[in-house]
Chains A and B, each alone.
Chain A
Amino acid sequence: MKVKIKYAHLVSEVTGSLNREFTLPEGTTVGKVLRNHIKRYGREFERWVIVDVSWRPEPVANILINLRSIVLYPDELETQLKDGDYMIFGGAAGAA
């Protein structure tokens, strides 16, 4: 299956590109894509994508899937991606 990923804001500086398309095995989860990116791009990527906000007990994943915001609940990271899904890393610039 094919998944499009957009690297928003300063995340694009870390990855060196704004948009990429990946061919992934069926059943790939959001969490797996996230972990692979952290492994490849390191702390600087993690800095923009995994965010500790003081008013929440757990960190927030700065990820949108098909423009839908997700948070770092284990269940949501286990969400399986589908062919044609569109992910945005680093898109959650507050409310805008």
Chain B
Amino acid sequence: MEGWAGKRIRVDLTSGKIEVEALPLEHLKKWIGARGLNSEVVFKESSQGMDPFSPDNPLCFGVGPLSGTFAPSSGRVTVSARSPMTTPHGHGDTNMGGHWGPELRYAGYDQIILKGKADKPTYLWINDDDIELRDASHLWGKDSMETTLAMTEELGDPNIMITCIGPAGEKLVRYACIINTFNRAGGRTGMGAVMGSKNLKAIAVRGSKAVRIARPKEFFDMCKEARTRIDSDPAVKMMQAEGTMMLFDMANGIGLAGAYKNHTTGFAPGIEEKFGGVVHMKKYLHSREGCFACPISCGRYTYIKEGPFAGTHFGGPEMESACNLGPRCGTYDWEPVMKMVQNCDLYGLDTISTGAAMSWAMDCYENGLLTEADTGGIPFVWGDTDTMLKVIDMICNREGFGDLLAEGAIRAAWKIGRETEKLVPHCRGLEHISCDPRTVTGFSLGYAVSTRGSDHLKNMSCLEFPPAVGLYQDLIEEVLGDQAKDFLEAQPNNLIHIETKPKLCKWSEEDKCIADMLGLCCFPSAWWYPLRPEDLTKLFNLATGMDVTSDEMMRISARVVNIERATWNREGSGRNQDVHIDRYYELPVQDGPYKGAVLDRKKWEKAIDEYYRLHSWDKETGFPSNEVLKELGLDFVAEQLEKARKEYLKKK
């Protein structure tokens, strides 16, 4: 087989049984790879009402047909399972870079599915065709770096790639993440906690096989051309210099992001001189890091030379980590924030949900909804970085009030009561990132309909940002068709006009899914657009020998989005959860260029109607129609959704 490995590993951790299954070509053509393969398993092999910590929850690691090739930025892995973090426990997944994914391809596999629960701490060791489960008791309790170093020494080869959890995953912190290659995190939706629930500490991989390419000469030429295009993008040059913080600098600089003080103000005022990417570059950047085959290398390696945190060095921070532990919690103080990012990576905590939990507590504390009687004597004051560092330890160890915050902000709010859930910016239990839903309405719609809870990485409507209009006008016209004129003429207010966003949101989610299925990073094709769906499709065809059109590839993406949506629908989650908290409809942005911006409920509902229409989803429930499921080859999904649809309507 060319492109794909054509095999996957299935592990039953309860019995210790390991099988290698063939993946038929028809199945691979239907789901492509990585996120596509995983999402099919998560729907098919989990059931309605499943506890994500039950042994039956299928935990999948997937790579794509371009993983491990010369295709640019082809080091991504998707990890999927039912999420312990979201409400209800719907589809969860996370996507991580590094070098682990390509190594799995070199070992000869497209996917790993793990079920069951080991009777003691265990790790999986894949050495080409030799696959075994090993005792990890001596690793339990170690942080991600200690684990990686100990396993590297134990297995005796520095080229072995290791993905693992830290103590937070072992203690089932609901937003525990997975770390690979020391500091590449699969952050969101609690996949690290799912690993912990299975007593699975790590997966080590070493591969020595080739990835076969169907048309190598043309493939190589196309990769070269793709790299030239990526290199010419102004964003790439800036990201190489500043890292992902440059995204924050820009978005916050024009009043769109920052999540300042738990998303209350719309953006973080006066932050640039203290906390921006340029400040990091000048004061703390030791070197740049890249994932496998990446011409961008957005990764940072930080070294703090002086002050209370002198000597701290680690891989990071990336933008959302810094933003959610920094301005979201009311601080612009780089050094303690970087220490927090480092600790979260070592403990295996999602930095976004960690920041969200603490900023919720600070917001409640300021408003008198949470007192020291609730927190065990801890004052949650905006910007108190000493306390934050201690609280992160408490969350990881589930100590005192940290045990409550380890449940995630929304569950903590439900436990505390007093209407504190109104102060949790989230959709489906997963907290927002730093972009403000009132001002970036394409993202806003994306947060609400995302198939893993609130998130920007499923529906990246990046064409709505003002700079994109100059750079990618041709693409905007192609995507929006007859709506393009209104969109372009309205700029920069196109950001707050939600009317054109359903079309943009749907296109963006399908465009992004192509990269996820192929095992590519989103930056070159879904954050900015030197590569388009037709380019990714061409790379896919040249690697696999297939002859798929980009329209067909977009429909395969739609299949994946629909099955992920169906996993939610089966839990009773549909239109009832495609909304934001009241704050975004009631509290206008306080300052800056978009002062006064607020979501309009009528326009919101209309946008949801239109988004459903474009998907052929039922307007009343937000479930995919039987017709569209059948058209996408998802008859088995349609059958299961019938019961859920009736239950949904009955409750309504």
Contact = CB atoms under 8 A, between A and B. Distances in A.
Contacts of B29: none
Given A13-B278, A53-B530, A88-B254, A94 B466 contact: no
Interface residues of A, number: 32
Contact of B470 (A12, A13, A66, A69): A69
A8 B468 CA distance: 16
Nearest to B528: A94
Nearest to B524: A94
Interface in B454-511: 462-463, 465-474, 491-492
B515 interface: no
A12 B269 CA distance: 18
A27 B469 CA distance: 26
A52 interface: yes
A96 B249 CA distance: 9
B250 interface: yes
B242 interface: yes
Given A9-B277, A55-B530, A94 B467 contact: yes
Contact of A60 (B229, B234, B238, B492): B234
A93 to B, nearest CB: 5
B242 A54 contact: no
B272 A10 contact: no
B8 to A, nearest CB: 35
Interface string A48-60: 1001111110001
Nearest to A53: B232
A34 to B, nearest CB: 14
Contacts of A10: 238, 241-242, 278
Label chain A's interface by main secondary structure: loop
Contacts of A90: 238
A60 B472 CA distance: 10
Contacts of B235: 92-96
A48 B239 CA distance: 12
Interface string B505-539: 00000000000000000000001111000000000
Give the one of A48, A62, A66, A67 with max B CB within 10 A: A67
B251 interface: yes
Contacts of B249: 8-9, 93
Closest 5 CB pairs of A and B: A94-B235, A94-B528, A92-B467, A69-B470, A95-B462
Interface of B: 228-229, 232-239, 241-242, 246-247, 249-251, 253-254, 272-273, 277-278, 462-463, 465-474, 491-492, 527-530, 593
10 contacts: A9-B242, A9-B249, A62-B234, A64-B254, A67-B466, A93-B246, A94-B236, A94-B529, A95-B235, A95-B468
